[in-house]
Structure formats: C-alpha cells, structure tokens
Amino acid sequence: MLFKGTPTYNKRAGTQIAAVLQRHGGVFNADTWNDRTRYYEMLPREQLELAVHLEADRMRNSFIADEDRQSEMIVVRNELERGENETDRVLDERVWSAAFREHPYHHPTIGWRSDVEGVPTARLKEFYDTYYYPNNATAIVVGDFDERTTLDLISNHFGPVPASPRPVPPMYTVEPPQEGEYRFILRRAGQLGLVEIAWHIPETKHPDTPAFVVLDQILSAGVSSRLYQALVEKQLAVSVDAQSCQFRDPGLFRIDMTLTPGVKHETAEEAVHGEIEKLKNEDVSPGELTKARNIIVSQLIYLRDSPLGVASAISEAEAVVDWKFYVDLPAMVEAVTASDIRRIANEYFTIDNRTVGYFIPKE
Amino acid sequence: MKEYSFQSRTQRYKLPNGITVLALENRANPTVSLSGLLMAGDYFSPANQHGIAGLTAGMLNKGTASRTKLEIAEALESVGARLAISANTFTVSVSAQSLSRDFGLVLSTLADELLQPSFPADELTKLKQRTTASIKHNQEETRVRAIERLTQVIYPPQNPFYQPTAEQLLNEIEEMSVDAIGTFHRERYGPGSLLLVVVGDIDAESVHEQVANLLGDWSGPAPGAIDLPFTPLQATPTREFVPMKDKPNVDIVIGHASGLRRSSPDYLAANIANRALGQSTLSSRLGLKVRDEMGLTYGINSAFMESGLGDGPFLVSVTVAPSNVELAIKASLEIVDEFVAGGIRDEELQDEQSAWTGSFKIGLATNSGMAAQLASAELHGLGVHHLDIFPELVTAVTKSEVNEAIRRYLHPERATTVIAGTLD
C-alpha cells in the first residue's frame, strides 16, 4: 500500500512511485521480515535527494485508501500462494509455527491467508499510524556522497516529519522454554522428501551469537563442511543447509535437507544427530575454526563491493540489535573458541528444545 | 572523462593459443572478480545426450590429476574463495570471487580443473544422483513446467531452446558414462574460445602473465561454430494445460519464438519496447494494469529470454490464483494488442531510455558487474568500447525504430499460452 501513493507522488499526477524510481534506473522495493519493514532504493548518486524526499513523504503521507486495499489484497494473496507452491518454504513456516507458540515469530511475515483476505483498511491505517514515524525508523545511506550535504538533506526532509504522538508499543511477549520435542509431518504432492530440525537459540545481542555464526559455517559451508560430508557425500541427502537465525528476540538454529530418493527420513535425521553428538563430545579442529572465520570475513568484504549489499547488512544489524554489529562481527567471530562451540552445542542442542518436521511426498 | 573510459582502463591480451584475457584494475576493495566463458554449452551436446554439457562442467571440480575433490574444496573454502563453472545454452561460464591475495589460488585451480580433470566414476554417480533430484525438484515448480512446455510447442526438438521432457532428460542422464564426459571434454574444451575477464584489486599485467604461465601451453580442439537457423513464428495460436497437484498458485506463460538475437540491428529498440511493455512488475504497462489496477497478480512481466547467440522465446509471464486464470490471460493479451497497435508513447520511450542507462550504470558499480558486462561485450563482438558508448546508443534510439521493432517482434495473435498448476 506504500507504493500506492501520496498527494505528491501518485499515478494521477504522473508521479507514481515505482515509475519515478524506474525512470532513473533504480533498484528498489520494500520487504517485511520478523523484526522490521524496510524500504530501499539504489540510484545514480545525483538522485539521492529523490530517494530521501520520497521516503520522508510516504512515511506519513501515504493514502492507504480503501479502494486500493481490495486490489492489493489479491496481489499479496497471490504472493502468499506462490510461497505455498514451494514445499520447502511451507515446511519451514510450519517449523517456526510449531517452535513458537506464544511469541509472534509463530506467524509468517506475509500473514495467514484469511487475515490477508479479511484485514480492513482501518486496521492497516492503525498499524501505519502506530509504527511509521521517524522515532521508530533508521535511515541508512551507503555510497559515494558528501557527508555534510547528505546529513543536511536528511535533516531537511525527515526533520519536519513529526514524532509519534504516543510511544511506539514495545514487544513484550516472551516464548517460554520448550518442554519437550515438537514433531510433525507435512504430506502433499511432491517428489523429494525433506527434513528440517530446529532448536531455540538466544537473541542476537546475547554473547553466544558469534559462536552460532561460526558453527553455522562449520556445519554447512561448502563441500568440506561437516553436514555435507555426513549427508551429501554419504548419499543420504542431495543438499543440506544449516542456518543460525539471528533476531531481536530469541530465534532458531535450523538444519534442513532434501533427501536422496529412497532414503528414509529417519536415517537422514539420525545422521544429523550423530554430527550434533560429535559437537557435544569433541572440540572442532583449529583448521575448521580458521576456515569458518575466513569465510565470514571474506563474505563481509565481498559485500562491500555493492552499496546495496552494505546497506542491507547494516539495516539487518540495526533491526536485530544495533548497526555496529555489522562492524564488530569479524572481531567477535575471531574470539570464538572450540570450547565455546562445544558448550553451546551441549546447552542448546537438546531433545527437549528441538522441533522436527518431515515433508513426505503423497503418492 | 576520457581517461576514465573502460576502453582506456581495460587491458586486452590474446595468447598465442587463442585465449582472450581482459583485465581491469579497480582498487576500491581488496577483492577480485573473474568472469569467463568458453564454447561448450548444451548446443554442442551430441544427439541423445542432453545434459552432458552441464554434467561435464559439474565434474570439473570433482577431482583432477593431482588433487581430489575434497582437496580442491578445502583449498578454496579455507580462504573464503568461490569458483563455479556451469553450462548454459551455448557457453560454459566461469565465475569466481576471492580476496586479491588469493587470486593466484583461484586461477591455478581453474587451470587445473580445465586442463586435467580426472572424472572419477564414483563422483559421476553422485553428481548424477544430485542432478536427477534437482530436475525432479524443479518439476514441482509451476513456472518451470509452463516454460518447458512452451518451448516444446514453439521450437523444433533439435533446437537448443527446446527443453526435453524430464523423463527424457532423466533417462539420458542415467545412461551417461565417464567415457562420454571425457570425450565431450576432449572435443569441446579448448583455449580457442576461452575468455577470462578479471576485474578488481590486481595488476593487469600480472593477470596476463599468470594466465600465460598456467594456460599458455594448453592446446585443444578448435572452437565449435554455431550454425543455427532462425526459428519461424508458429502459424496459429494454441493453448496448453500442464496439470499439477496441490498448487495454490498457477503460472501462465504466453509466448512465441522471438526472432531476436543480440546481433539483430534493432536489438536495443526491441528491448526498449519490452521494457515499456513488461520488464518491471511495478511500473511497466502490464504491471500497471494487471497488478496495480486490477490486482490480479503478485508478478507479471514480459521478456526476450535469451536473445543472445540465438533467438530465444519472447514471453509474457503471470502468476495468479486458479480462479483468475481467464481474466489474467484476457487482460494481458489486450495490453499487448494495444501496445502493438498504438506503439510506445513519447514519455515511455524517454523513461525507458533513462531507466536503462541508469540501471546499466548501477550494474557497473561492482567488480562482478563490470566483469559480466565486459565478458558479454566480448562474446558478442562489441568490444570494450561498447561499455563506454552504451548509454549514447540507448539514448539515440528513436520512437519509429521502437515501433518498427514492436511490429517485427511482438505477435500476440500467434502466441502459445501454457497454464501450469492445479485447475479443477
């Protein structure tokens, strides 16, 4: 709805938001995720003011009109349907919903189908009037620009936008400790079986986060990683991935795999648990630690090649803890030791703390 | 501005064995991007060996005369470097990224993989298994199935844009042996068509030396030529349905053989036409009507898919809920009809020219973006200079050239419509 226009930028005036940005060759969009909504544009540097003006304008002046909601609802519902076509996404969504019973990470960001269909315009407006204020926003500019001029630009356009009349409501729901494993099966048409295993892990600002970031690499970065060797190399799975999901509130460490045809779900799952037991009982090698750190640091350096990549990384860091997390990560990762990895594996990768989902293709 | 031109900053070398090397220094970040290609893609597959180009490219990092797969992976992964080789319709493409200090490792690994692959049989078994699974996984995607069927209707089976059925592909992959892969490598991989473009924090002269040291002695078959007739437009429109189970979203593609290649003199005009019609879901004609105004879809666009060395399809693609299929097809075709009848508007032409030159500049902001553009210009014989003059060329395209291209390349009245998904 934030692309539908403001009194300044709209289709009738020939200044439709997407058309104006497209005209300058911009890469632009908006997306939602667990802790934040973000609007971004990458433009030739002469157009910086356009981007700043547009974002300041639509922060408070968007129409959010009832006549736009009906058509936009079907657009978003189609986005949701496209997601539902992908079995691996559906399985992952259900793992999150099972693992989080009370905290809102239970809900997919796109929403549930009936909520997308039924939400009234007034409810959208209420959301906009609660959260879309400068005191709840961060502006990030990356690229080739003059610092003073740019700060003035931001101040000139965002400065006059009023702060929220009421404090932005805090998120206070806490997911209580899981008391026993959650396990479920998803059955629908499909060709290849899937297994996903997840454990609750702490919030990003927790001191254990760097160890999880390193462990993620040790488990699944490349052919030489532990899970690739234990599952793909042994022909139990055709692909496997581990991901440490860092959020503002406690998230999940998840491992997902696509099974080799003919392999039982239980067999592949057992192989993962075998690797987890090794982590609990033996230190990872110095070589594995160095490799993981090198991968993390080089990825951050590659990112610097693209202004949008850097802006994106900083915005994610700011959303989950603080933008400085992006800067500090290499040093934090450097300090992770083998005993840290062993300790977190023992502390978090327990049976009572895990959720396991199987996708079994329907005959 | 002259001294900053790509022409003046890019070093171009031709080795005696035919390898072309382009090197561009960019010291902004301590990284190096490599983009390369050679003529060993699907087009060169022998009869009944669909997929051999992809398997051969995929086998290159599975072991060489001196190193195992794990040793190769360990060396690259331990420094966070990335090297990928994959097959396309006509070419095999190489892409790599590393910190500048590790570029030597990347290049020597690439040389080892190209020159001395050992094609171990057990690795081929595993790769075939993963490839098979990936084909099956792709078969679950409505878009993949819709495009696959479209190509079968609009191209003859011997054309490289004709996508064989999954069943045929799986059978042919099952039969593939290390001998067949070795033969394909011996007959198709050679220095004559190898292009390597290196951009980043590196001395251009040393790139030339390193390539000459590692690959200068490589001898191999002469590059294969591409001799592909243009595919004529089908005579009448047809409609096909690909039934799939449990899919809440339907993919629709409406398309025909485009008759457009990169070498076509009106390539730029045709692409400006497509940009105005449907390149962007958010701001092109199709998107403004079918997404923004009618609210039928999350995604609608049009494209000349693979108008490069060959004439790939032109298609309009849209996703909808099953109940909106007919409405979406009707609305999309009406917009294309109207575009063909009325042509591009002045402000659309201006907007698309400025959008294309703007996004071209943005694409050149990264090392990998520059490497990819340089490789493409070289592949199509346009030269490094093309990057400098591209914005002028786009801006010089006139309204009548665009309208001429619309009439020549867009034929909704003869398009094939394919619907893939769950419809009762």
Q: What pairs with residue A361 in β-bridges?
A: A188
B196 has which bridge partners? B21, B36
Q: Which residues of B touch A27 (CB under 8 A)?
A: 359, 362
Share of chain B above pLDDT 70, in %: 99
Among A118, A143, A158, identify where a domain stops.
A158
What is the CA B59 to chain-centroid distance, rounded? 20
Determine whether the interchain pair B81/A84 forms a contact, defined as Cβ–Cβ distance below 8 Å: no
Amino acid (1-letter code) at residue A34: N
Longest Cα–Cα distance of chain B, Å, equals 64
| Rounded-to-integer distance, Cα B414 and Cα A209, Å | 58
Structural domain span for residue A249? 182-362
Facing A224 at nearest CB: one of B74, B295, B359 = B74
- Inter-chain CB pairs, A–B, below 8 Å: 172
Identify whether A241 is part of a domain: yes
For residues A62 and A8, the answer to whether their CB atoms sit within 8 Å is no
Residues A254 and A354 occupy one common structural domain: yes
Task: Delineate the domains of chain B, giving CATH numbers in brackets.
Answer: 9-215 (3.30.830.10), 238-421 (3.30.830.10)
Quick one: A245 and A346 in the same domain? Answer: yes
Contact in structure between B175 and B47 (CB atoms under 8 Å)? no
User: Cβ B358–A24 below 8 Å, yes or no?
Assistant: yes
Query: Other CB atoms closer than 10 Å to residue B316's CB: what's the count?
Result: 27
Please tell me if residue B359 touches chain A, with a CB cutoff of 8 Å: yes
Report whether pLDDT(B67) > 50: yes
Q: With an 8 Å Cβ cutoff, are A291 and B78 in contact? A: yes
Whole-angstrom distance, CA of residue B361 vs CA of residue B365: 7
Residues A189 and A332 in one domain: yes
* pLDDT confidence of residue A324: 96
pLDDT at A305: 86
Phi-psi region of A14 (alpha: psi -120 to 50; beta: other; left: phi over 0): left
Q: Indicate the residue type of A340.
A: D
Mean pLDDT (whole number) for A134-148: 95
pLDDT at B1: 41
* pLDDT score recorded for residue B2: 47
Q: What is the mean pLDDT of chain B?
A: 95
Chain A hits for B134, CB-CB cut-off 8 Å, are 238
Using a CB-CB cut-off of 8 Å, the residues of chain B touching A24 are 354-355, 358
- pLDDT for res B281: 83
**Same domain, yes or no: A224 and A330:** yes
Residue A163: how many CB atoms within 10 A of its CB? 11
Three-state DSSP at B63 gives: strand
**Is A82 close to B298, i.e. CB distance below 8 A?**
yes
Mean pLDDT in residue range A67-86: 88
Residues A152, A186: one domain?
no
- Residues A174-183 have pLDDT tens digits of 999 999 999 9
Looking at the predicted structure, is the pLDDT value of residue B297 above 80?
Answer: yes
Helix, strand and coil content of chain A, in percent to the nearest 5, comes to: 50, 15, 35
Any idea what the CATH number is for the domain that residue A23 is in? 3.30.830.10
Mean pLDDT confidence for A103-132: 96
Mean pLDDT for the stretch of residues A251-275 = 97
- Are the C-beta atoms of residues B260 and B151 closer than 8 Å to each other? no
- Write out chain A residues lying below 8 Å of B288, CB-based: 11, 16
Q: What is residue A175's DSSP assignment?
A: P
Measured between CA atoms, the residue of chain B closest to residue A194 is: B137
Q: Name the residue among B367, B255, B242 with its Cα closest to residue B307.
A: B255
- Between β-strands A251-259 and B238-243, what pairing exists: parallel, antiparallel or unpaired? unpaired
Say whether both A222 and A145 belong to one domain: no
Residue among A4, A78, A91, A329 with most chain B CBs within 10 A, to mutate: A78
Determine the Cα–Cα distance for residues A11 and A19; give it in Å rounded to an integer.
Answer: 9
Report d(CA A232, CA A194) in Å as an integer. 13
Rounded Cα distance, A350 and B197, in Å = 49
| Least confident residue range of A226-240, B149-163, B273-287 | B273-287
Q: Which of A158, A173, A205 is the last residue of a domain?
A: A158
Q: Residue A177: inside a domain, yes or no?
A: no
For residue B173, give how far its alpha carbon lies from the nearest alpha carbon of chain A (Å).
Answer: 16
Residue B17 CA to residue B22 CA, distance in Å, equals 15
- What is the reported pLDDT for B4? 79
The C-alpha of B142 sits at a distance from chain A's nearest C-alpha, in angstroms, of 8
- pTM score, two decimals? 0.93
Q: B249 and A306: CB-CB below 8 Å?
A: no
Phi-psi region of B289 (alpha: psi -120 to 50; beta: other; left: phi over 0): alpha
Do A151 and A191 fall within a single domain? no
For residue A170, tell me if it sits in a domain.
no
Contact across the interface for B137 and A74, Cβ inside 8 Å: no
Residue spans of beta strands (DSSP E) within A134-248 = 182-189, 194-201, 237-245
pLDDT at B209 over 80: yes
The answer to whether A305 contacts B31, with C-beta atoms less than 8 Å apart, is: yes
A81 lies in some domain: yes
**What pLDDT, in 10s, does the model give residues B1-11?**
445 799 999 99
**Beta strand ranges found along B88-237 (DSSP E):** 92-99, 195-200
Q: What is the mean pLDDT of chain A?
A: 95
pLDDT confidence band for A206 (50 / 70 / 90):
very high
**A191 and A313 inside one domain:** yes
Nearest to residue A40, comparing CAs of A50, A49, A32, A51? A51
Task: Give the integer Cα–Cα distance in Å for B26 and B370.
Answer: 10
Whether residue A311 is found in the same domain as residue A218: yes
Model pLDDT, residue B3:
57
Please identify, among A98, A123, A158, the residue that sits at the C-terminal boundary of a domain: A158
The reply to whether residue B362 touches residue A189, judged by beta carbons under 8 angstroms, is: no
pLDDT, mean of residues A185-204 = 96
Residue A362 with chain B: CB contacts under 8 Å: 245-246
pLDDT in tens, A314-363: 999 999 999 999 999 999 999 999 999 999 999 999 999 999 999 999 97
Residue A10 lies in a domain: no
Distance from CA of A189 to the nearest CA of B (A): 6
Measured between CB atoms, does B262 come within 8 Å of chain A?
A: no
Q: What is the C-alpha to C-alpha distance for residues A16 and A20, in angstroms, rounded to an integer?
A: 6
Q: Is A201 in a helix, a strand, or coil?
A: strand
CB B374 within 8 A of CB B35: yes
For an interface test with B, the pick among A85, A258, A306 (most B C-beta atoms closer than 10 Å) comes out as A85
Q: Is A118 in the same domain as A196? A: no
Q: Is the pLDDT of residue B336 over 50?
A: yes
Position B33 pLDDT exceeds 80: yes
The tally of domains found in chain A comes to 2
- ipTM surpassing 0.85, yes or no? yes
- In a shared domain, residues A266 and A326: yes
**Backbone Cα Rg of chain B:** 23
Enumerate the residues of chain B whose CB falls inside 8 A of the CB of residue A44: 358, 361-362
The verdict on residue A131 lying in a domain is yes
Taking only Cα atoms into account, the Rg of chain A, rounded to an integer number of angstroms, comes to 23
Co-location of A122 and A193 in the same domain: no
Q: Answer whether residue A349 is part of any domain.
A: yes
Whether B122 and chain A come into contact, CB under 8 Å, resolves to no
Whole-angstrom CA distances from B312 to B257, B275, B318, B356 are 6, 17, 19, 21
Between A22 and B243, name the one with better pLDDT.
B243
Tell me whether residues B136 and A191 touch, CB distance under 8 A.
yes
Query: How many CB atoms within 10 Å of residue B191?
Result: 23
Which residue of chain A has the CA closest to B359? A25
Q: What is the pLDDT of residue B365?
A: 84
Structural domain contains residue A1: no
Please indicate whether, in this complex, the C-beta atoms of A22 and B355 are within 8 angstroms of each other: yes
